[in-house]
Homo-oligomer: A and B are copies of this chain.
Amino acid sequence: MSSSTQPSAESLASEVATQSALLNDLRKQQADPAVVEEARKKLGDLKRNLALLQNANAASSGSKEGKKKERMLLKTPKGTRDYGPAEMFCREHIERIVKDCFTTYGGSQLDTPVFERKEILAGKYGEDAKLIFDLMDQGGEQLALRYDHTVPLARYLAMSGAITTQAKLWQVGKVYRRDNPVMSKGRMREFSQADFDIAGTFDTMIPDAEIIGMVCAILSRLDVGEFTIKMNHRKILDGIFEVCGVPPEKIRPISSAVDKLDKMSWADVKKEMTEEKGLDPAAADKIGEYVKHKGGPELLDLLRADEALMANANAKIGVEEMGILFGYLKVYNVMDRISFDLSLARGLDYYTGIIYEAIVEASAPPAFKNANAFASSSATPSVSNATPPESQQSKKKVSKKAATAADEEEEIDESQVGVGSIAAGGRYDNLVGLFTAAAAGEGKKAPGLPCVGISIGLDRIFALVWPKWVERGMRSKETMAYVMAAGDGLLEERVRLVQELREAGIKADFMLKRKPKLPAQFDAGERDEVPFAIIIGVDELKEGLVTVKEQKWHFVDGKKVKIESENKGIKIKRAELIQWLKDTPVYKDWSSGKLIA
């Protein structure tokens, strides 16, 4: 984020020099292409700012009375960004895989407005409600941008009235949170989520298992690297809190504190529980003993052996349901992905059953890679604690302070933040009922509709997949043929041929000039690595022929380079061109998606 105080041209020029040197170094070291790309972009930004500043200075020194006119800041709003062609090609690829899995698992698409009536969102997000973007009061309704897809879905289900609904619904779209952005890790104020939800009364844990099975299939196809599904059950967690002596009104706030254990040390979480939220330190310590456990289904035996816990009705139901779920997940063949983690709490208020979060190896912020949240507790050995908890120094904390009125937000040190969870969700059996009840009026029992769902964070997945695309030097579009004229422009002939190709479904382009030179046309086609150059000439036209030259690229020193060949291309009968192109291996590979996935 650029600051609004203007730097001097001198300081900017020195920054440009420093950044240029850095970029050169990175290139020499053959650094990670994504890092090089980032450095290159930063240099571009600096140079542009410098040019603008120099222009402005020149203008103001020449203008009457030397007054500076206020210049417009050309930027996207804080926490948002544009995605250009190469990035969108990658994002479309990600979305296509996600949508394809959604429909393969029987889902139907839903689309709700980007904004909702404010009262629909009110009271659904606990401590995070302050992050909602409100629309200005311009008369009429009070509106706010949607914060997630779950609440609009519940509103839709309550409106559609069919409480006997059994449906698998998915929605892909942008949601909005006025949080502190960490752009490079895909943490944005405007971000894309892909949600899949199962609504309806079914048998215990079967829809839950279906969702987990599906998300494992999606993440496996997405090339995000090794991933783990952390899983817990709100009823087990609430049972633990009750057994440890947390008073009912403090259960959600204490749950919120526990949820921070993946980002904060136990000592800090305990401090929040006791000092900020007034919990008895003894109760906090008891909670600490429970929530450090993580592992597989064997953790259930540990809980079942805990008589105090099993005497709690919530915990008992939670443990039973987890047992059933693990049984089903074996059938889905995904148990090797699951980590039963008693510290997983999830921030949102509306969950009532299992909760889960998918994380990848690359998610952990660097300082936490080999760290453990329980650095300061002299813990008894837990199920998964293979390494002793004393060996870390992970005291750094990522503070998520809310946006203040002055927008003077704390800057986050991006190097200390990981991508975070790339998908998350859980069961929420009461949310639809909340809406039907609010609409029905006080004192009336309104019908509910049990739901379970998952939100996939498309920007975070993009942050993981994109560097690999850069590394592989992916194209940014799929144009297959570039039509050129060798002779005298031949504009009409080029248009006719390119239109013929397009009508046959072949992605084709040409240069939008009357008499372009042949080298300029080759350059234009090569910029997009178009595999077939199709050249028309006056003589060949008379003979009903065109020249086709296949072009290939390879990767040299982090850059795509065209493979030069002596081959001048082959002559093809114009009438046979379309079929000839469609029969080539490279055409088949592109149209089957093989060269993208």
Contacts and interface: CB of A to CB of B under 8 A. Distances in A.
A110 to B, nearest CB: 6
A248 B132 CA distance: 46
B55 A496 contact: no
B82 A114 contact: no
A306 interface: no
A556 interface: no
A91 B111 contact: yes
A446 interface: yes
Interface in A97-146: 103-117, 119-120, 133-141, 143, 145
A165 to B, nearest CB: 11
Contact of A55 (B85, B446, B492): B446
Given A104-B502, A112-B82, A141-B78, A60 B441 contact: yes
B139 A136 contact: no
Interface in A48-68: 48, 52, 55-56, 58-60, 62-63, 68
A404 interface: yes
A552 to B, nearest CB: 20
A435 interface: yes
Interface stretch (A391-399, A508-516, A568-576): A508-516
A479 interface: yes
**Most chain B beta carbons < 10 A, residue from A85, A168, A476, A491:** A85
Interface string A339-367: 00000000000000000000000000000
A107 to B, nearest CB: 8
Interface string A186-206: 000010000000101011001
A446 B56 CA distance: 11
Interface stretch (A69-77, A232-240, A249-257, A579-587): A69-77
Contacts of A561: none
Given A82-B112, A206-B513, A507 B140 contact: no
A156 interface: yes
A217 interface: yes
Contacts of A271: none
Contacts of A82: 110-113, 156, 159
A155 interface: yes
A383 interface: no
A176 to B, nearest CB: 8
Nearest to A61: B443
Contact of A103 (B62, B119, B174, B507): B507
Interface residues of A, number: 120
B495 A328 contact: yes
A108 B476 contact: yes
B63 A443 contact: yes
B77 A117 contact: yes
A439 interface: yes
**Most chain B beta carbons < 10 A, residue from A112, A114, A178:** A114
A506 interface: yes
Given A55-B441, A108-B476, 13 more contacts: A56-B441, A59-B440, A59-B443, A73-B117, A73-B439, A84-B110, A88-B111, A104-B505, A108-B477, A114-B190, A200-B512, A206-B491, A209-B495
Contact of A109 (B92, B109, B120): B92
Interface in A297-353: 328, 331-333
Contact of A512 (B62, B92, B141, B207): B207
Contacts of A476: 108
6 contacts: A63-B442, A72-B120, A77-B141, A82-B110, A84-B110, A203-B513
Interface string A257-287: 0000000000000000000000000000000
A169 interface: yes
A407 interface: yes
B438 A80 contact: no
Nearest to A88: B109
Nearest to A111: B83
Given A80-B115, A190-B113, A85 B169 contact: yes
A405 interface: yes
A213 interface: yes
Contacts of A469: none
Contact of A136 (B135, B206, B213): B135
Contact of A104 (B44, B160, B508): B508
A217 to B, nearest CB: 7
A499 interface: yes
A81 interface: yes
Nearest to A105: B502
A11 to B, nearest CB: 18
A333 to B, nearest CB: 8
Nearest to A83: B111
A478 interface: yes
A7 interface: no
A89 interface: yes
Contacts of A120: 72, 74
Contacts of A563: none
Contacts of A76: 112-113, 116-117
